[in-house]
Amino acid sequence: MSDGPGTRTTFLDEVRDAVRPRSALLVLGVLALGVLFIASYAGAFHDPKPKDVAFGVVAPAQISGEVTARLDGLPGSPLDPRAVDSVEDATRQIENRELYGALVVDPRGTTDRLLVATGGGEAVADALEQVVGKVEAAEGRTAETVDVVPASKDDARGLSAFYLVVGWCVGGYLCAAILAISYGARPANPRRAVLRLTTLALFSVALGVLGAWVIDTVLGALPGGISGLWWLGALVAFAAGATTFAFQAALGIVGIGLTVLVIVVAGNPSAGGAYPYPLLPPFWRDIGPVLIPGAGTWSARSLAYFDGNAMTGPLLVLGAWALGGTALTLLFSALRTGRDAVEGSEVRQ
């Protein structure tokens, strides 16, 4: 192989020319992301077990403490039981997302009632049926399951809210990545950063309403109407995109990989989608509520099935990611502009 008269290029020379250090580092980074993806998803999903599930006990005063203590002492602590005054109070707490379920004990017979809410995730309801069923069987009793907040018949396993949020997140960070690739990973100046953020905001509003329309009107998978989901979707997509912008402004193209790490690798398996928080291992259970997919999934389920209850915290999380991403994007672009101005001045001198 020859590049011209008197020169000869070897295969090793071709490799050295093609594989630059920066490219090699990026490939190694992608390899690391792939390994982390496998570890995160398999770690979160390979062995789901209930742990400290918030659970109510409705029973006469003379046996309430005994029943609660028995459930609290189960091996592995699957339940976090607490006495509740009445069936109505237990139902209200489930609807307010304070409890995942409740056992209503009937001392006059051998059949009790297990209140669950498949709208909050069918996997938790199944886990409660298994745990309570074993306890009841050991006592020679049975529990009849009553779904007080049922998932839509077209919302298989209660996963539609999770997939909807994943779509919003993917759209948000892909929009930001495309804008970066088209015009350079780091915004050259604050004006361009504002233009990108404005474009992202318009895109997020459009994606929010289209996603809500598909999931509600086209598929009928989630009840509750389009309006609430629309603005939640806009916030989720913008938060994901603004976070991507911030990472890109700080790290360049490597920032896209960091976005994938935070939202996809860490965020999706910890979002409470396939397995709500009480079924996840400690690490994923702890990080899920403070990441965009987790806060979005919880909020989407609240809008669809729980009349918008228990959304303040998740909305604050989403707002923090959106505002933080916006502020950091503007800050890094301003710092870069100032640095470029200083360097240009030094060159002229």
* pLDDT tens per residue, range 131-180: 999 999 999 999 999 999 999 999 988 899 999 999 999 999 999 999 88
The answer as to whether 25 is a domain residue is: no
Decide: 223 and 236 in contact? Cβ < 8 Å: no
Task: State residue 188's pLDDT score.
Answer: 62
Q: Sorting pLDDT into bands at 50, 70 and 90, what band is 111? A: very high
Same domain for 94 and 169, yes or no, is no
- Give the range of the structural domain holding residue 211, as residue numbers without chain letter: 156-348
Beta strands, E only, the chain: 53-58, 79-83, 101-104, 111-116, 142-147
Task: State residue 156's pLDDT score.
Answer: 87
Task: Single out the residue in 147, 170, 199 at which a domain terminates.
Answer: 147
Q: Which of 261, 215, 263, 213 is nearest to 241 (CA)?
A: 263
Same domain for 306 and 252, yes or no, is yes
50-91 confidence digits (pLDDT tens): 999 999 999 999 999 999 999 999 999 999 999 999 999 999
Higher pLDDT, 280 or 185: 280
Q: Are strands 53-58 and 79-83 parallel, antiparallel or unpaired?
A: parallel
For 302, phi then psi, to 5°, come to -65, -45
The answer as to whether 258 is a domain residue is: yes
- Whether 114 shows a pLDDT value over 60: the answer reads yes
Q: How many structural domains compose the chain?
A: 2
Same domain for 120 and 182, yes or no, is no
Task: Single out the residue in 116, 147, 178 at which a domain terminates.
Answer: 147
CATH number at residue 137: 3.40.50
Task: Single out the residue in 107, 126, 147 at which a domain terminates.
Answer: 147
What's the whole-model pTM score?
A: 0.89
The answer as to whether 74 is a domain residue is: yes
The dihedral over CA atoms of 313, 39, 281, 274, expressed in degrees to the nearest 10, equals: 60
The answer as to whether 26 is a domain residue is: no
Cα 106 off chain centre by: 39
Task: State residue 228's pLDDT score.
Answer: 94
Angle, helices 190-213/312-348, rounded to nearest 10 degrees: 150
Same domain for 224 and 297, yes or no, is yes
- Whether 220 shows a pLDDT value over 90: the answer reads yes
201-213 confidence digits (pLDDT tens): 999 999 999 999 9
Same domain for 165 and 101, yes or no, is no
The mean per-residue pLDDT over the stretch 101-117 comes to 96
15-56 confidence digits (pLDDT tens): 566 656 766 777 888 889 899 989 999 999 999 999 999 999
For 246, phi then psi, to 5°, come to -65, -45
Q: How far apart are CA 133 and CA 125, in angstroms?
A: 12
Task: State residue 347's pLDDT score.
Answer: 43
Task: State residue 333's pLDDT score.
Answer: 87
